[in-house]
Amino acid sequence: MRHLAVPAAVMVGALALTLTGCGGSDDAKAELSVSSSYMPQPVSDMAAGFLTIANKGGAADDLTSVTSDAAGSVTIHRTVGQSMEEVKSLDVPARGQLVFKSGGNHLMFENLKRQPKQGQKVTVELHFAKAGPIKAEIPVKSATYNPATGH
């Protein structure tokens, strides 16, 4: 008898099917949580920020703005081809996630009040169309940090 390892992609697919199968509640709402956040140590008064907003709930929501005491402004950007553009909001799908990552969606901090250093944290508040605001502490990593390798 042979035992074959189940590829991770197959398991993720099965999980997604299971989750999709249990919807249908009338009072569905978004259940949001933030993970995998980081800011590459900035080299000017601008910085990028990355994070994942997971939604375990049965209703979609929208990230509508981000604020931080550390910066004069925080804007939401997405990457289209080789260029980026500011957007008013981004969708957080029901039972899905909104991912900010290098080369894709990102937060743009401008007019930083001080340049945060590796090991410090930058506090942000995420605002949504329906759900209440979520505070998150974004750890500052090295300027060349790669979340895939962890350094």
Give the residue ranges of DSSP H helices in the chain: 8-20
Q: How far apart are CA 88 and CA 63, in angstroms?
A: 9
- Candidates 14-22, 59-67, 72-80, 131-139; binding stretch for Cu ion (CB under 5 A): 72-80
- Candidates 21-29, 60-68, 83-91, 135-143; binding stretch for Cu ion (CB under 5 A): 83-91
Given the structure tokens 């804007």, which residue do they identify?
75
CA angle 28, 59, 75 (to 5 degrees): 140
In whole angstroms, the minimum distance from the beta carbon of 136 to Cu ion comes to 19
Q: How far apart are CA 42 and CA 47, in angstroms?
A: 5
- Candidates 2-10, 32-40, 56-64, 69-77; binding stretch for Cu ion (CB under 5 A): 69-77
* Binding of Cu ion by 90 (CB under 5 A): no
- In the bound state with Cu ion, the residue whose beta carbon lies nearer, of 28 and 52, is 52
Q: Which of 100, 104, 95, 48 is nearest to 74 (CA)?
A: 48
In whole angstroms, the minimum distance from the beta carbon of 90 to Cu ion comes to 13
Residues that bind Cu ion (CB under 5 A): 77, 84, 108
